[in-house]
Amino acid sequence: MPVVPGYHGEDQDEASLTEIAARLGFPLLIKAAAGGGGKGMRIVREAGAFAEALAGARREAEAAFGDGRVLLERYLERPRHIEIQVFADRAWNTVHLFERDCSIQRRYQKIIEEAPAFGFDPALRAEMGAAAVRAARAVGYVGAGTVEFIFENGAFYFMEMNTRLQVEHPVTEMITGLDLVEWQLRVAAGESLPWRQEALAPRGHAIEVRIYAEDPERGFLPASGVIRHLREPPLTDGIRLDSGVAEGDRVGIHYDPMIAKLIAWGETRDQARTRLLGALGAYEIGGLKTNLRLLEAILAHPDFATAPPDTGFIARHPELLTPPPQELPRAAWRQRRSPFSIRARRGRARSPHGGVIPTPRGRRMMSSVPAGRRGCGLR
């Protein structure tokens, strides 16, 4: 499995790491050995900045994971973050469900994901998928998992494997017509996967945006407060919403600030993008800061529409962080329900693969709406 050149050893002495960094060359990346999500990560562009960056990465890694050990890797300047969804059962059947591009990020965390990756040809898709399957088989993996790669200039490098369903799994469900949550439970119960790799094929394109209670203009500082006004977009054809809040709910400071995921499917990437822009334009949240307008500005940007994104997209377009304000109706400033309401919106969305998708009852921060199982993702 190819990996980015770097150091992943046990010697964590500062002098040793400084010497290794000099041999690797700059720029390089310091990463927490015990976790991810951008915690304990620093980009170092010159030798003189290494000591301070190392100390900061160690402090953050210790606070987040209870482990201050770090890795050193050569820093890629304009990479794409590509991950492969894999599934395996106890009978040694292992398949991949194609790739997702998770390159639009802030603070090293994903905010927009899409499947399949823009501009990938079938040969590259098959090569990366086969590498992910080999990784899963090498450790005897069972269930749903994600093998993550960094990709630049036609080459891909292994980063990590997440042994769970990811936040962004709905885009895979939308292009395959498969319910990944259902199959995770079936495999856990001992059932075998009903598909072989040659029978699987993606259909169309899906894009997901993560809606956060945060302030992009202030370094994505998490926001808290009461949702005094909430108008969700209509669930028209190709639109799916996984939401964890209702009007009158209070968003606190003790949990991740993501409050919903909005997903659009289309026959083409541009159709999915246009549908998602329309749904975002109809989404209204009042009472606290969100990233709704930033997401809308990214999707509307010509560079996103016409070229494959990379992880430096937001840094190269700081103007996106201050989009024009959106006017909300007077109802946005009145609290209509108790902040302790536990009622959540219920609805029905249409699957791109046929049929109706029921929105589950109750409040689940990471609700999973089945994407239909009619075989349009199979051939």
pLDDT (0 to 100) of residue 358: 35
Q: What is the pLDDT of residues 193-233, one digit of tens each?
A: 999 999 999 999 999 999 999 999 999 999 999 999 999 99
Q: Do 26 and 73 meet the contact criterion of CB atoms below 8 Å apart?
A: no
pLDDT (0 to 100) of residue 322: 85
Quick one: which of 22, 110, 108, 121 has its CA closest to 72?
22
Q: Is the pLDDT of residue 174 over 60?
A: yes
Residue 348: count other Cβ atoms within 10 Å of its Cβ: 10
Q: Do 263 and 170 meet the contact criterion of CB atoms below 8 Å apart?
A: yes
Round to whole Å and give the CA distance between 98 and 89. Answer: 17
In the chain, the largest separation of any two C-alpha atoms, in whole Å, equals 62
What integer best gives the mean pLDDT of the chain? Answer: 87
Q: Is the pLDDT of residue 47 over 60?
A: yes
For domain 6-74, give the CATH superfamily: ATP-grasp fold, A domain (3.30.1490.20)
Q: Residue 171 belongs to what H/E stretch?
A: helix 169-176
Q: Is the pLDDT of residue 335 over 80?
A: no
Give the mean model confidence (pLDDT) for residues 67-92: 95
The catalytic residue positions are 164
Round to whole Å and give the CA distance between 172 and 87. Answer: 12
78-379: CATH architecture: 2-Layer Sandwich (3.30)
Helices and strands per DSSP (H, E), number in the chain = 9, 20
The full 3-state SS of 249-315, as one line of letters, equals CEECCCCCCEEEEEEEEECCHHHHHHHHHHHHHCCEEECCCCCHHHHHHHHHCHHHHHCCCCCCHHH
Confidence label for 325 from pLDDT (cuts 50, 70 and 90): low
pLDDT (0 to 100) of residue 248: 97
pLDDT (0 to 100) of residue 173: 98
Q: What is the pLDDT of residues 51-69, one digit of tens each?
A: 999 999 999 999 999 999 9
Residues of the chain with CATH 3.30.1490.20: 6-74
pLDDT (0 to 100) of residue 116: 98
